[in-house]
Amino acid sequence: MRTFDEFESETCFLCGSAEDLCGEHKVKRSLIKAHALGDKTEFHSSMNARPLLAQSPKSKVFHFKSRICRTCNSSRTQPADLAFDEFHQRLHRFWSDVKTSALNEAPAHQVVEEVGGVPLDVFRYFAKLLCGLLADVGGPRPILIADFAMGLSDENHIKLKISDLRKRRVNLPLPVANSGGLRCWVDGDELLVRTFEGSLSAGFIDYDYWVRLKAHASRELATGFPAFTERCRRGGLYDSS
């Protein structure tokens, strides 16, 4: 069974359809609205020396360059979009309130458990983002990740690390939103691509998400997509913003 499919630029980055394409948010408008102060919203990318300043939540800096079809955008991914929205707001509210409680010094995963853990649909949301980041840099379509993002399978390969940016030594004030682009990690004697990783922050919460490829998938990438693999080997880091 194949892990990757060729990605054509004028097709949906989830299902591969060429029909009825539309834009997709890299950072949800609801998140920006929830955390924005005033009209000008800041969007930081870890690869940009200077942050990109968006004039409004509709700005193109909050969108993927690649497109998605309307079916994927609506019925297939809306439950995951809503689940992430709901989860993020709940966690942000809860975490804001624990400042004075015993949970203040608790590790992030314990705080996340207190709000009921991470629903599967939230992982689906990050699976979609990862497909978009890969498409934006001309990478292949990861079939299993895309199927999971579309709700066609319950097989989750996405790992997620949630952290509180207030506990890191970061410059304040925090940006409204930060999407770090795609990072890929290469290892072993054969220099195989082993991990694709993305990050998203909104307010003081940072979401680091990644997929670790199995050995056969790394080999399939190396033989089926040699040019892309070579780019990963040379740079390891891509910015899609």
CB of residue 13 to Zn ion, shortest distance in Å: 8
Q: How far apart are the first and last CA of the chain?
A: 32
Listed in order, strand segments (DSSP E) in the chain are: 4-5, 21-22, 41-44, 52-54, 68-69, 141-142, 158-164, 177-179, 182-187, 192-202, 205-212, 237-238
Q: Is 69 in the site for Zn ion (CB under 5 A)?
A: yes
Pick the closer one to Zn ion by CB: 54 or 131.
131
| Interface segment toward Zn ion; rule CB under 5 A; list 47-55, 70-78, 111-119, 126-134 | 70-78
User: Interface with Zn ion includes 12 (CB under 5 A)?
Assistant: yes
Number of residues that bind Zn ion (CB under 5 A): 6
71/195 with CB nearer Zn ion: 71
- Which of 3, 7, 11, 14 touches Zn ion (CB under 5 A)? 14
- In the complex with Zn ion, the residue whose CB is nearer, 141 or 194, is 141
Rg (CA), the chain: 18
- Residue 144 contacts Zn ion per CB under 5 A: no
15 interacts with Zn ion by CB under 5 A: yes
> How far apart, in whole angstroms, are the C-alpha atoms of residue 147 and residue 129?
13
Residue at 237: amino acid letter: L
From 123, 182, 130, 197, select the one nearest 153 (Cα to Cα): 123
Applying CB under 5 A, the residues found at the interface with Zn ion are 12, 14-15, 17, 69, 72
